[in-house]
Amino acid sequence: MKIRYNLMLVILLIVSSVLLTSCKKQTGTNAAIANIKPGIDLEVNTETGSLDIWTPPNGNCSGNGCIVVPHNNKATVTFKLHGSGTWHFTEFQICAGGTKPDDCGLTDEQREEFEVFNNTGDPRTQPSSEGLVNIGSLSNDPIRSFKLKDKNTFEQDYFYIIKACSGTGGSNCVDTDPPIENKGKL
């Protein structure tokens, strides 16, 4: 009976240590990095003159279109414009900070966090020091969908401003500005 008890105790200790090890927060070069792929669906509401986001918040942030990139993850976010074919994306801007800033500015380290590309993956571009991305440089055709790669190498909150216009003149435009919460890798 004592042997059986000791054997059960050893098995319990082994199972407990395996569970504790598997639940331990991973860091360093051996940590598993997940690439989350949220989609942000938008539509121009011509009645209200707004760019509406259909996508509910991802993670624990507030507001439709809000993106949380969890600790030790990266993200490839697809932005898609639904509705009338005359509307297309014209501008995308990323701003550092937890609240909507009056003007944007990104350090070189913050700019390196992001890459914007069309659905084929080429060409790719990074935001300028003002956080601006020229969406028109991704294709000769009007852009109704594009992707944002977020490397999430350090903890930082951002806002992104996305603009859609009707036609080619750029005078009939709407925008929206949800947040991004990067939780970092380390």
Average pLDDT over residues 86-97: 90
CA distance 23 to 17: 10
Lowest-confidence region among 10-14, 87-91, 139-143, 165-169: 10-14
Contact 126, 93 (CB under 8 A): no
Instruction: Convert the pLDDT of each residue in 41-68 to its tens digit.
Output: 999 998 888 899 888 777 677 777 788 8
- Between 12 and 155, where is the model more confident? 155
CA–CA separation, 50 and 105 (whole Å)? 25
d(CA 7, CA 106): 60
Q: 96 near 110, Cβ under 8 Å? A: yes
Domain 38-183 sits in CATH 1.10.20:
no
Element of type H or E holding 9? helix 2-23
CA distance 12 to 14: 5
Average pLDDT over residues 148-170: 87
**β-strand partners of 78:** 39, 147
Q: How far apart are CA 149 and CA 122, in angstroms?
A: 13
